Structure 1
Amino acid sequence: MDFSKFLVTLLLVCLLTYESYVEAASVDQDFLRTCPSHRCNKHGPEIRFPFRLSTDPPSCGAQGMQLSCSGDDTILDHHVLGSCRVTEIYYRHRVINVIPLAEPSMQCPVQKLISTNLATDVYKQPQSSQVTTLVRCSRGFTPVDQYSIVGPASCLSNNTRQFWYLASASAYMSDLPRDCMAISKGISIPFTYDKRGPNSDDFAFNKRGNAVINFGETTFTWHLNNITYVCQQCEHEGRHCGFSSRRRQAFCQHHGILSFPS
């Protein structure tokens, strides 16, 4: 190839690269302009793709992942639990922690977590990193080891006063009074997360376990076929996920340079 042909080829490559860059920057800016991130209050969880705020266009979020604001609260309308207050969202780990909003007839919030199948088309309860057992007793007591058995949560169910406890895998069942009964195993604990995963030490179990039995706090992961894979790739690269309506495809945002799956 002579030098003139080399220059023409190089120019064509540069033009194609520039056009691709401009197109990518345009898609990125269009998404950011149409679908900005939101918070219901300055300390609340960030709402961004694959979630969207109810006032944003449907293309700003995946199907079934709409959130709304009620005052300072971030609200998820779960098909089984009903309206829930979102306490945390961990995009890197696909985890959302929620507390069902109190109903006048629901005096034992934790019962709602064990009486129904909470899975939906989008949300599933994760496999807990700890084996937990929900225990119901007819009288209250103070656990000897309050880092492996948390409670009690006292509530009225069927006109009978009941006392609920949550026991971790390290708990000795002999530490429980004989009138206590194991009700459910594998209750998911809504831990906090860092880049490495859940903060599941003894102190975290004590704090988060009490939130489960007192308020019915629970946790879900989400899965959305091809969107989930792309967005997880983005998050692990330290980038946010977006969606191209033209391509019908998720992408990684990065200062105008987009990464689409091949």
Structure 2
Amino acid sequence: MDFTNLLITVLLLLAPLKYKSDVATASDDEDFFKTCSSHRCSKHGPEIRYPFRLSTQPPSCGAPGMQLSCSGQDTILDHPVLGSCKVTMIYYRHVIMNAIPLVDSSPHCLLHKFISVNQSTAVYRPHTLKAASLVGCSRDSIDTNQYNSIVGPTSCLSLANNASQFWYLAYPYEYMSILPLGCTIVSKDIPMPYSYDKNGPNFDISIFTETAKRVISTGETVFTWYSSNVTSICQQCEHEGRRCGFSSQRDQAFCQHHSMSLSQV
């Protein structure tokens, strides 16, 4: 037998082994999605799927620190800093989560927590890519009817001297030179929970106005998350329209073999 025929014979013998290995891998992947199926706490609530898991599922169904639970029809995240938060939206493709803290640790003003507490944890970070500016004024001196890029005020106690202060949220691209005397920029990093689509965030003035009102009244905020061996792979899966899972044997995330009908965000 010459070398060419020998090589063909070896490849033919190995082919069934390779096929068997691929089938076993696919089977293992499907076992993950059977054990770790997606859930919702309510019909219109955010879908809970890997890298998140429901608290009633095995720990292997989610990445570390990414457990959610249901309280009635609400989806709850136990944030290490902010405590219990109601999750209003999860954008898997963009690695974004909108949430409302349920326990206000700063009773004088909901906005205090954005500048007085470091919200970054091992998994979650405030998403400040397109953050709003927080403006503090000694009196209610900004005509928000004239400037639709500035929303407010909300009356708070000043962090400096406990005096009454009026706070506003300003669109990040607004010129701060329009501010009257007695007003200062307190922070330029207030996370804004915008809606997202397949192209990214919707970020025009009209959406900013409505969103800023929600932030002032409820403290709604936005997080991004990170988990090694998971985040970048899962994000790629979502862009390809496939679910993401995790292989304990391979110690990394993977994309489901076939595409599923997924949300476009």
TM-score category by the smaller chain?
0.7 to 0.9
Deviates more, 1:149-158 or 1:21-30: 149-158
The 2-side partners of 1:170 and 1:104 are apart by: 30
Aligned residue for 1:128, secondary structure, equals coil
Residue in 1 that maps onto 2:130:
129
- The CA deviation at 1:106 is 2.1
- The CA deviation at 1:70 is 0.6
Q: Residue 93 in 1 paired to residue 90 in 2?
A: no
Amino acid at match of 1:135: V
Residue in 2 that maps onto 1:217:
220
Structure 2 residues not aligned, in runs of 5+: 260-265
Equivalent pair of 1:110/1:215 in contact (CA under 8 Å): no
TM-score in terms of structure 1 length: 0.86
The 2-side partners of 1:169 and 1:113 are apart by: 16
Equivalent residues in 2 for 1:80-159, closer than 5 Å: 80-103=81-104, 106-129=107-130, 132-140=132-140, 142-154=143-155
> How large is the RMSD of aligned CA atoms in angstroms?
2.6
Residue in 2 that maps onto 1:259:
none
Q: Residue 181 in 1 paired to residue 175 in 2?
A: no
Deviates more, 1:77-86 or 1:168-177: 168-177
Deviates more, 1:245-254 or 1:218-227: 245-254
Overall identity of the aligned pairs, in %:
58
Amino acid at match of 1:244: S
Equivalent pair of 2:26/2:257 in contact (CA under 8 Å): no
Aligned residue for 1:39, secondary structure, equals coil
Equivalent pair of 2:128/2:190 in contact (CA under 8 Å): no
- The CA deviation at 1:250 is 1.1
Equivalent residues in 2 for 1:218-237, closer than 5 Å: 218-237=221-240
The aligned length equals: 255
Structure 1 residues not aligned, in runs of 5+: 257-262
Equivalent pair of 1:25/1:255 in contact (CA under 8 Å): no
The 1-side partners of 2:157 and 2:192 are apart by: 23
TM-score in terms of structure 2 length: 0.85
Equivalent pair of 2:78/2:85 in contact (CA under 8 Å): yes
Q: Residue 163 in 1 paired to residue 162 in 2?
A: no
The 2-side partners of 1:19 and 1:145 are apart by: 69
Q: Residue 194 in 1 paired to residue 207 in 2?
A: no
Distance change (3 Å), C-alpha of 1:105 and 1:183: closer
